[in-house]
Structure 1
C-alpha cells in the first residue's frame, strides 16, 4: 500500500507541556534555539518525525504558545491535518488556549484530540472536575464531545494510549492532494556549509522531485530543487502532507524569506486584491472601520493591507461578511484557501475564512456587489461541479446526482456541455475532469521516469504497483488512465509491465563498462561458459547487481539459462541447437548430440533439457524426437 503523509500540530497555552509532549512522542526536543532553552518557552516552530507504522509518515509541529509568538503559531497550524489541543491538568483552559482554538476553527481544521498533560501533578479525584471544565470550554467547537486523553510526558503515563488514538484518527483522514500543482509555503530559510540555500515547509499540495525546476513567488525567480530531505533523511521526492527541506540552486539565502512560496512553474500567480468570505471571532473588542488596517496570515505569509466593505462602514459583531482585502504586498493564493485576519494595533484576532476569488477587482459599494460576491462564493453550477470533480476525481452520474444539488434534466444538460467542450472526459461509467486526467498522465510519466532511472535494466514498472501510485484517484480510474495512455502511445505495455514509450532497458551508466565486460566474456566463452557468479565477481560488480543483470540478460534474449549456475549466450545456444538438428536423425540420443558438440555432461545434459523445455524436442525414454527446427 502507498505510504500516507500527515502533519500533526500541537496547540495550547504557554507552559502547558506541548514541547515536552512532543519529546515524549518522538524523542526529539524541538526547542533548538539557545533563547528557547534559557527561557523554557518555544519561540520558533519546532518539528519532529513521529513513527507510527510503516504505512504512514507523520510530522509533528510544536507551535509557540506565548501570545507574542502568535504569528509563528498561525504559520504552523496552517498546514496541519490533525491538531492536539494541549491543556495542563493543573491550570486548565487559559486565554491562549481559547485564542488557539479560535484560530484552528477559522482555518477550517476540524479533526483534533484534547490531550490533558501533567496528570501526575493533580489528585485523582480532580480528574472529573477537569473533564467537566474542559468539556464546557469546548462547547460549540469541533472538539465538542471529544474524548480527553490524560498523559504525563515525563513518566510517559498515557503516551501509548495517545499514540494508538492518533493512529486511529489518521486512518480515517484523507490525504492532501499529491496530484495537483506543487505548492510549498516556506516557513524556514537557512544555509548549510557547502550546500547553499535551504528552505523548509509543509507541502500543501502536489509533489516535487529532485532536480525539478521551480518558481519562487512572489519574486518569480526560477530555482532548482537540488536535494530533498524529510526529517534529515535524503529523499528523491516530497509529496503533499510531508515536511520537506529543499536545497535550492540558483538563489542566495538573502533572496528568500518566510512567507515566500515554492510552486510548479506556470500554475500559480500572485495577487494584491483578494475577495474573501470572512468569519469573525465571537466578540470583537474593538470595531473594525472601513478600509481599516489589517494583517493577513495566509499559509506562512504575513502581509499588511486594508479591508474594504461593500455593505457597511464598520464591522462589529456580524459573523459572516463578504468583503475584499487590498494588500501592500503580493501573495500566492487560490480559491478555497483559508486565512486569518488580525488587527496590528491594538493587537487582536479579527477572524478568518476562505478566499473566494484570488483576483478581485474594484467594485462599487452596495447590494449589487454583495449579490455578486455571494454568487461567486457559491459558484455557478459549472464551477460547483468542476470543484466537486476536482475533489472526488472520478464519479459516476448517479454519484454526482446524489451529491450535486441540481435537477436531473439540468444536470444532464450541464454534463453534456462539459463533455462536448472537453472539460470532462468519460472512462467507462466514470466522469473525470480533463485537467485531472492530464494530471494523472503526468503523474504516471513522472513515476515511470523515476522508476526507469532507478531500475534502468528492468523492462518497466509492474502495473499493479503503478496503479498503487495512483491510489488517491481510485483503482478503476487508475486502470483506465494507464490503458488510455498505452492506446495513445504515451506508454508501452509488455504483459504486466508498463514503460515510457521511448524507454529501452540498458546498463546503468556507472556500471556499464563492467557489465559490458561480463557480456563480452559470456559471448567469448561460447557454450562452455564458466559459472555465472565467477564472471560477475571477476568483473567487480557488487553482489546486489548480480541477479539484476542475470534477469536482464534473460529478459532481453541475450542469454539462455542452462541451469541455476550457468547462462550461455542465445547465439551460442542456437548455433549448437542448429548443429545438432542438422547432424542427427529425427530421433537421437545423448551420445549423438555429444558426437556433434563434443561437450561434457556438465553442459550437455542441461542443454538437452533446455531443448525439451523450449519445445524443440520431446523426450521418449533415452531418446529425443525433433518437434520443430531451431531458429
Structure 2
C-alpha cells in the first residue's frame, strides 16, 4: 500500500488556543519568531509533524488568527486536507471565527473537526452547555454536523481524543496525488549560510527528488533541487501533501518570493486573466461593483486585480453562483478548479470566493451568451475541455494542451491511451472530432473534383495540403490522408488522392471524339502529328484539351516524347520491343534510325524518352539497355 501524506490545518479566532493545541499534539513550538513569542500571537505560518508511520505521514499547520494576518491564514489553509476549527470554551464563536469559516467554505473545505479548547477555564458543569452553544452557532456553516471535542492543551484533557479523531477522519480522505505534475506554492523564502536560497511550502501534487530540474514561476527562472528537507529532516524525495523545504541552486533570495510556485514541468499556466465561479459572503457590508479593485488570494499568492461581471453591474450578499472574470495586475500560476478568495482592499473585508473555471480567460462580451459559454466550460469533463480546445486550435503540442485545459498529464495520457484523443507522429495532439471535420472537408473537395474534373485522377496531394493550410497543419492533413489510404477509404495514384471506387473517365458527351483522337494517333504509327492537331480535328474545345491530355498521360493511353508529340502506347511499346530485339547490349543513334526508320524529329526525343523512363543509359554516343547494364 502506497504511503499517504496529509496536512492538517488549525483555524479560529486569535488567542483561542490553536498554537497551544499544536504543541500539545506534536510537542513542537510553531511560534518561532521573537515577535510571536513576545506578543503571544502567531504572525507567520507554523508547521509541525504530527505522525509518521510506514503507511501514513501527517503534518500540522498553525495559521494566524488575527484579522491583520488574514493573508498568511489563507496561504496556510489553501494546502490542507483537514481543518480543525478551534473555539475557546470561555468565549465561543467570535467575528474572526466566522470569517475563517467563510474562507474555509470558499476554499472547498466541506467538513472537519471542532475542538472546544480551554475547557479548564469553564466550570465542568458548563461543558455541555458550551458544546451545545458551539453546535448551534455552527449551523449553516461548513462545520455543521462535525464532531465537537472538548480539550485543554495545558492539562492535556481530550488531546488523545483529538489525535484519534484526526486519524479516524483521514482514513476516509483521499491523499494528494503523488503521480501528477509536481507543484509547490511557496509560502516562505529564506537563506541558509553556506547553502543559499531555500523555499518552503506544502507540495500540492506530484513529487520532487534531489537533483531534479525545476522552474520557478511566474518568472520562469530555471533551477535545481540541491537539497530537500521534510520537517527539518533531510530527504531524497518529497511527495504531495508533505511540508517541504527545497534548497535551490542558482536562485538569489530576491528572485523567489511568497506566492511563487515551484514546478517540474512546463505544463503550468502563467496568467493574468482567469474565468471563475464564485459566491459572495452572507453579510457583505458594501456591494461589489463592476470593475472594482479586488485582492485575489489563491495558493500562497496575493494579487490585485479587477472583477469583471458579464450579467450584472454589481453584486450583493447572495449564495447564488456568479460566473465572472478577474483581470490581474500581476501574473499568477493556477490550474482549473484551484480555489480562491476575494477581498476588498479598503475597507478590508472578505467579499467572496470560489474556484477557477479556466486559467486562460479571454475577452468576452457582456451578456447571457458569455454566461452560457462560461457555464459550459465550468461543467466540462477533461475530455470535453480538451476537445473544445482542439476544435479551436485543431492541433496542440502536449504542453500547449495541458496549459490550455488545466488537466493533468496523467489524465491526458489516459485520454490518448483510450483513443479519445490522438497523438500525431510529431508529438502533437488532436481529437477525433477535428479529424472527422477535416475528413468531411476533404471528402467534399474530392467529390467536387471528381464531378467537375472527371478526367483527373484525383486531387493533387500537395495542393490538398495547401488548401487547408490556414486552418490545419501539414502534419494533421498528412496523418488523415495516411489513415484513410490505409483503411481503403481513399486511394492514391502517383501524387493524386481520390475516393475509393472513383475511376477517371471522359464525359459521355465527349467520349466519341476522344476515341477519334486516340484512333487517329494509333493510325499515325511512329510518325504522328502534334497532339493539338488531333484534338482540333476531333472538335475538342480548347478549354478541355489540357485536361484530356493529362488524362491520356495518367491513364497511360499515350506516351509523350516531348511537349507536343506523343505515340499511341501500344505503338510505342511495339517499337521499343522491336529495337531491343534488333540490337545488342548497346547501340548508337544510326543503328536505331535504321531499325525504326525514324527521322531525327522523332528519333532523338524517342531515345531520350527511353532514357527518362529508365530503359536505357546514355554513355557518350551510345545507349546501353539498362537490363544489360545490371
Matched with 1:63 is 63
Cα drift, residue 81 of structure 1: 0.1
Provide the residue aligned with 1:222 in structure 2.
222
Q: Which runs of 5+ in 2 are unaligned?
A: 388-404, 424-430, 432-630
Which shifted more, 315-324 or 16-25?
315-324
Give the superposition deviation at 1:52.
5.5
Partner Cα distance (1:389, 1:355) in 2: 13
Preserved CA contact (<8 Å) 1:185 1:300? yes
Matched, 1:131 2:137: no
**Aligned partners of 1:188 and 1:381: how far apart in 2?**
33
Distance 1:135 1:318 in 2: 24
Give, in whole Å, the separation in 1 of the partners of 2:20 and 2:417.
Answer: 57
Output the CA distance in 1 between the equivalents of 2:52 and 2:140.
31
Q: Distance in 1 between matches of 2:406 and 2:285?
A: 38
C-alpha contact 1:201 1:243 (8 A) present in aligned 2: yes
| Whole-Å separation in 2 of the counterparts to 1:327 and 1:246 | 28
In 2 relative to 1, CA 420–272 (structure 1 residues): closer, same or farther, beyond 3 Å? Answer: closer
2:4 aligned residue: 4
Distance 1:341 1:148 in 2: 29
Deviation of the 1:128 alpha carbon = 1.9
Measure, in 2, the Cα distance between the counterparts of 1:45 and 1:232: 15
SS at match of 2:127: helix
Q: Secondary structure at the match of 1:224?
A: strand
Secondary structure, aligned partner of 2:186: strand
Question: 1:368-447, aligned counterparts within 5 Å?
Answer: 368-379=369-380, 382-383=383-384, 419=419, 421-422=421-422
Cα distance between partner residues in 2 of 1:175 and 1:391: 18
Give the whole-Å Cα distance in 1 for the aligned partners of 2:416 and 2:204: 33
CA distance in 2, matches of 1:357, 1:180: 19
Q: Which residue of 2 aligns with 1:587?
A: none
- Find the counterpart in structure 1 of residue 283 from structure 2: 283
Question: CA separation of 1:391/1:173 partners in 2, compared to 1, >3 Å: closer, same or farther?
Answer: farther
1:124-168 deviation per Cα after TM superposition (whole angstroms, max 9, x unaligned): 221122122111111122321222111110111111111111111
Aligned to 2:209: 209
Structure 1 residues 189 and 381, CA gap change in structure 2 (3 angstroms): closer
SS in structure 1 of the partner of residue 277 of structure 2: strand
1:183 corresponds to which residue? 183
Q: Secondary structure at the match of 1:38?
A: helix
Q: 1:385 Cα deviation (Å)?
A: 10
Report whether the alignment pairs 1:339 with 2:364. no
Q: 1:48 to 1:417 in 2, by over 3 A?
A: closer
Contact 1:106 1:339 in 2 (8 A): yes
Match of 2:427 in 1: none
Per-residue deviation, residues 171-207 of structure 1 (Å, max 9, x unmatched)? 1110111111111000000000110000000001111
Per the alignment, residue 74 of structure 2 pairs with 74
Q: Per-residue deviation at 1:265?
A: 2.7
| Distance of 1:417 and 1:42 partners within structure 2 | 49
> Which residues of 2 match residues 83-94 of structure 1 at below 5 A?
83-94=83-94
Which residue is equivalent to 1:573?
none
Aligned mates of 1:367, 1:234 — CA distance in 2? 54
Moved more, 52-61 or 40-49: 52-61
Match of 1:488 in 2: none
Q: Measure the CA separation in 1 of the matches of 2:163 and 2:65.
A: 22
TM-score, length of structure 2 as denominator length: 0.62
Structure 1 position 72, deviation (Å): 0.5
Contact 2:336 2:407 in 1 (8 A): no
Alignment of 1:456-467 (within 5 A): none
Deviation at 1:3, TM superposition (A): 1.8
- Kept in 1, the 8 Å contact 2:10–2:86? The answer is yes
Query: Aligned equivalents of 2:263 and 2:416: distance in 1?
Result: 34
| Pairwise CA distance, 1:277 | 0.3
1:324 aligns with 2:340: no
Check the 8 A contact 2:382/2:407 in 1, yes or no. Answer: no
Specify the SS of the correspondent of 2:419: helix
Give aligned pairs, total: 408
Q: Report the secondary structure of 2:38's partner residue.
A: helix
Q: Contact 1:52–1:163 (CA<8 Å) still a contact in 2?
A: no
- Matches of 1:56 and 1:380 in 2, distance apart? 31
1:297 pairs with 2:297: yes
Alignment check: 8 A CA contact 2:214 2:263 kept: yes
Report if aligned partners of 2:416, 2:422 keep a CA contact under 8 Å in 1.
no
The 2-side partners of 1:74 and 1:417 are apart by 38
- CA–CA distance in 2 between the matches of 1:98 and 1:391? 38
CA distance in 2, matches of 1:93, 1:223: 46
8 Å contact kept, 2:31–2:42: yes
SS at match of 1:169: helix
Change (3 A) 1:234 1:331: same
Find the aligned partners of 2:114 and 2:249 in 1 and give their Cα distance.
Answer: 42
Partner of 1:253: 253
Match of 2:49 in 1: 49
CA contact 2:383–2:420 (8 Å) conserved in 1: no
Structure 2 equivalent of residue 548 of structure 1:
none
Q: Which runs of 5+ in 1 are unaligned?
A: 397-414, 424-433, 435-631
Structure possessing the higher radius of gyration over alpha carbons: 2
- For the 8 Å contact 2:111–2:146, the answer to whether it is kept is no
Alignment partners' CA distance in 2, 1:268 and 1:80: 21
Is the CA contact 2:295–2:304 (under 8 Å) kept in the aligned structure 1? Answer: yes
- Taking a change above 3 Å as real, the CA distance of residues 270 and 127 of structure 1, as seen in their structure-2 partners, is same
Residues 23 and 228 (structure 1 numbering): CA distance in 2 closer, same or farther, change over 3 Å? same
Which residue is equivalent to 2:367?
A: 366
Secondary structure of the residue aligned to 1:419 is coil
> Paired residue for 1:109?
109
Summarize the Cα distance change of 1:138–1:364 in structure 2 as closer, same or farther, 3 Å threshold.
same
* Cα offsets for 1:22-72 (capped at 9, x unmatched): 000011111111111111000110011112644211111000010111110
Cα distance in 2 for partners of 1:336, 1:19 equals 31
Give 1:542-561 correspondences, 5 Å limit. Answer: none
1:121/1:274 CA distance change after superposition, 3 Å = same
